[in-house]
Amino acid sequence: MAEEKTNAEVEATTEATQQAVETPQQDPKEFLENFNWEKYEQGIERVDDSKLKEFEELVAENFVDTADEEVVEGKVVYITDREAIIDINAKSEGVISLNEFRYNPGLKVGDKVEVLIDIREDKSGQLVLSHRKARTIMAWDRVNAAHDKEEIVSGFVKCRTKGGMIVDVFGIEAFLPGSQIDVKPIRDYDQYVNKTMEFKVVKINHEFKNVVVSHKALIEADIEEQKKEIISQLEKGQVLEGVVKNITSYGVFIDLGGVDGLVHITDLSWSRINHPNEVVELDQKLNVVILDFDENKSRIQLGLKQLEKHPWEALSDEIKIGDKVKGKVVVIADYGAFIEVVEGVEGLIHVSEMSWSTHLRSAQDFVKVGDEVEAVVLTLDREDRKMSLGIKQLTPDPWTDITTKYPVGSKHKGIVRNFTNFGVFVELEEGIDGLIYISDLSWTKKIKHPSEFTNVGDTLEIEVLELDVDGRKLSLGHKQTTENPWDKYETEFALGTVHTATISDVVDKGATIEFNEDITAFIPQRHLEKEDGKKLGKGDEAEFKIIEFNKDFKRVVASHTAIFREEEQRNVKAAVKRQAASADEAKPTLGDANDALQALKDKMEADSKKK
């Protein structure tokens, strides 16, 4: 029955009838409206078999079987706020939600799109289509073809993810790594979300259905062409415009349009800078000059400061030697400080020009970085671009009236500044130093090194011994500020005087005794003998006779033996005198006298042998 025919059959019959009866000039729609279906069904209207066959071929070629799940191409005929109306040459037009076209915000009437019949008729009899499903079916074929042929594809950036972005390519969610977005580092990923961009498929994992795309690859291809063209035209001294691509502690990388060049930190500014970010910032456009490049032109050295006139060339001609200038301390070294007089022009203040003192110290003792200082121009060489400055010249030279301040014989106080093996350097005032020889430190102490007597920073009483104005030398003495105790010791310990003391030490050649804190006397080995023939030892107390006293060399020699030996000699002399007196009284004969003397002599020799 006619009611039981499918829609496709009805439409096919209608079209066949139309083809059979219409004239070439007749409008098919007009024919269908006027066609008598009742007569046709009753067999009154006959259609030629050839016309029916032709009708069937046209239907197979142009009309869609809505029962099939094949992907077909449709045409956008109308767009509403929420949906797109698609004509697929079926009984009715289909609808697709605009959400399925988010990747293509430029969709318009007349565009052709791939669709899949989702629902043949919904509850309202509407044909429901799916563009997303159609794209999914066709996507893998397209992605593989694009990868194999290295074609450029269009994709919609859906959202951010860890390490990159998710991109809709042909309905497949592909991964765009952050490093593949652009040739320069990306700091704001969100700026790419909801944008349609072109990509290149760089990797496909069929097992896990993963696709990786790159936008950077497209840029690099264009840049490579630009790079070849730029490199071929590079010349030293050429000025190019570039963009700051990266900033490091040692310099700035400039993108010259596909070719990177480096501006070293020393070529950024004529002035000293601590870091390149003091001069430039990321993404800044600026002009640079080509200073040098290697044979392959792969390493390009650029300059920024060279585009400006050298500060030395702009230095005022009025500045000359002897002038006072002001500047800021920019660098400090042990040997001096660099002062920036004007931007890009520096002068060196050597540490020896910071103070009149001959005792050199570190420049950090006088100035620090950032200080504003005044100085005098000492030398100026405009050709070599060098300038030396001095600070001490701002104050009078203390040696100008040295003879008035520090005449020979005058006494003063000074600060110990330094030691040497032979003496001590003492500063009387800033710029006035003198030397105390080690022999002039003490009247009595034997000093091997000055550190045994004093410390750096100590204050010492001094007396000016010698003054050399031309040589800027002062000879000082410390012991001269006190009386020489050896003057009184010369009387107290005169030759022949006897003193009681204890032996403090015994050495190979003798022993030592200390009469007081200043005088230590030496006892030779043979002078340690006691009257009984034994020798004195360490800790023994006895009387000692001074047998040598030298004030200049501070040498004192004493003897214990000399005391009783002299007593014996006195006894002999006394005996001789008594014998002589007795002889005179008795008036003995000459022979008697000789006998008496001989007997005394024999006795003395016998006593001597016993000892």
- Asked, for residue 17, whether it belongs to a domain, the answer is no
- Asked, for residue 484, whether it belongs to a domain, the answer is no
Identity of the amino acid at 180 = Q
If you average pLDDT over residues 364-374, what whole number do you get? 87
- How confident is the model at residue 92, as a pLDDT? 72
pTM of structure: 0.41
| DSSP at 178 | G
| DSSP at 99 | G
Same domain, 390 and 319: yes
Name which of 69, 108, 68, 75 is nearest 89 in CA terms: 75
Q: H-helix or E-strand containing 553?
A: none
Which three-class secondary structure state does DSSP give residue 437? strand
Question: φ, ψ for residue 78 (rounded to 5)?
Answer: -160, 145
Decide if pLDDT at 439 tops 80.
yes
Question: φ, ψ for residue 503 (rounded to 5)?
Answer: -70, 120
- How confident is the model at residue 465, as a pLDDT? 92
Decide if pLDDT at 23 tops 60.
no
Same domain, 390 and 449: no
Question: Minimum mean pLDDT among 281-290, 329-338, 453-462, 485-494: which range?
Answer: 485-494
Which residues, 6 or more positions from 98, have their beta carbon under 8 angstroms from its beta carbon? 79, 81, 82, 83, 84, 107
Decide if pLDDT at 20 tops 70.
no
Name which of 465, 457, 400, 402 is nearest 427 in CA terms: 457
Same domain, 381 and 405: no
Q: Do β-strands 260-264 and 285-293 pair in parallel, antiparallel, or remain unpaired?
A: unpaired
- Asked, for residue 550, whether it belongs to a domain, the answer is yes
- How confident is the model at residue 121, as a pLDDT? 63
Half-sphere exposure of 356 (CA within 13 A, CB side): 17
Same domain, 411 and 426: yes
Question: Minimum mean pLDDT among 119-123, 175-179, 398-402, 585-589: which range?
Answer: 585-589
Q: What is the distance of C-alpha 253 from the center of its chain?
A: 19
Higher pLDDT, 58 or 111: 111
Most confident stretch, 312-321, 355-364, 522-531: 522-531
Same domain, 175 and 201: yes
Decide if pLDDT at 476 tops 90.
yes
Query: Can you point out the beta strands (E) in 210-281?
Result: 210-214, 239-247, 251-255, 260-264
Cα torsion 56, 57, 58, 63: sign: positive
- How confident is the model at residue 17, as a pLDDT? 41
If you average pLDDT over residues 260-270, what whole number do you get? 88
- How confident is the model at residue 360, as a pLDDT? 62
| Under 8 Å between Cβ of 219 and 273 | no
Alpha helix stretches (DSSP H) within 367-482: 402-405
Query: How far is residue 267's CA from residue 32's CA, in Å, rounded to a whole number?
Result: 86
- pLDDT digits over 38-91, tens only? 665 555 555 555 555 555 555 445 444 544 557 788 889 988 988 888 888 776
Same domain, 322 and 388: yes
| Under 8 Å between Cβ of 462 and 474 | no
Residue 8 pLDDT grade (very low, low, confident, very high; cuts 50, 70, 90)? very low
| DSSP at 235 | -
- How confident is the model at residue 138, as a pLDDT? 77
Q: Please provide the average confidence, as pLDDT, over all residues in the chain.
A: 79
- Asked, for residue 95, whether it belongs to a domain, the answer is yes
Same domain, 507 and 551: yes
Token code pair at residue 223: 């840049």
Domain boundary among 565, 582, 601: 565
If you average pLDDT over residues 301-324, what whole number do you get? 83
- Asked, for residue 531, whether it belongs to a domain, the answer is yes
Exposure pattern of 120-145 as b/e (b: 16+ CB <10 Å)?
beeeeeebebbbbbbbebebbebbee
- Asked, for residue 377, whether it belongs to a domain, the answer is yes
Q: Which domain holds residue 449?
A: 401-477
Alpha helix stretches (DSSP H) within 185-239: 216-232
Which three-class secondary structure state does DSSP give residue 598? helix
Same domain, 281 and 329: no
Q: Which residue has the tokens 């400080």?
A: 337
- pLDDT digits over 319-363, tens only? 888 888 888 998 888 889 998 888 888 889 998 888 877 666 788
Kindly list the distances between the CA atom of residue 344 and the CA atoms of 268, 312, 336, 363, 455, in Å, as whole numbers in the listed order. 12, 7, 18, 22, 45
- How confident is the model at residue 346, as a pLDDT? 87
| Under 8 Å between Cβ of 58 and 18 | no
- pLDDT digits over 207-219, tens only? 777 889 988 888 7
Same domain, 339 and 387: yes
Residue 18 pLDDT grade (very low, low, confident, very high; cuts 50, 70, 90)? very low
Residue 102 CB: number of other CB atoms within 10 A?
A: 15
Decide if pLDDT at 256 tops 70.
yes
Same domain, 161 and 125: no
- pLDDT digits over 541-585, tens only? 888 988 888 877 778 899 988 887 776 666 556 666 666 666 565
Decide if pLDDT at 169 tops 60.
yes
Query: How far is residue 311's CA from residue 318's CA, in Å, rounded to a whole number?
Result: 15
Domain boundary among 450, 477, 504: 477
| Under 8 Å between Cβ of 469 and 457 | no
Identity of the amino acid at 86 = I
Cα torsion 329, 332, 392, 390: sign: negative
Query: How far is residue 278's CA from residue 139's CA, in Å, rounded to a whole number?
Result: 51
Cα torsion 113, 135, 211, 177: sign: positive
Half-sphere exposure of 361 (CA within 13 A, CB side): 13
- Asked, for residue 465, whether it belongs to a domain, the answer is yes
- Asked, for residue 16, whether it belongs to a domain, the answer is no
**Count of domains in the chain?**
6
Same domain, 277 and 346: no
**Percentage above 90 pLDDT, the chain:** 10
294, 296, 297, 300 alpha-carbon torsion, rounded to 10°: -40
Domain boundary among 165, 188, 220: 220
Looking up residue 258, the CATH number of its domain turns out to be 2.40.50.140
Decide if pLDDT at 132 tops 50.
yes
Same domain, 79 and 129: yes
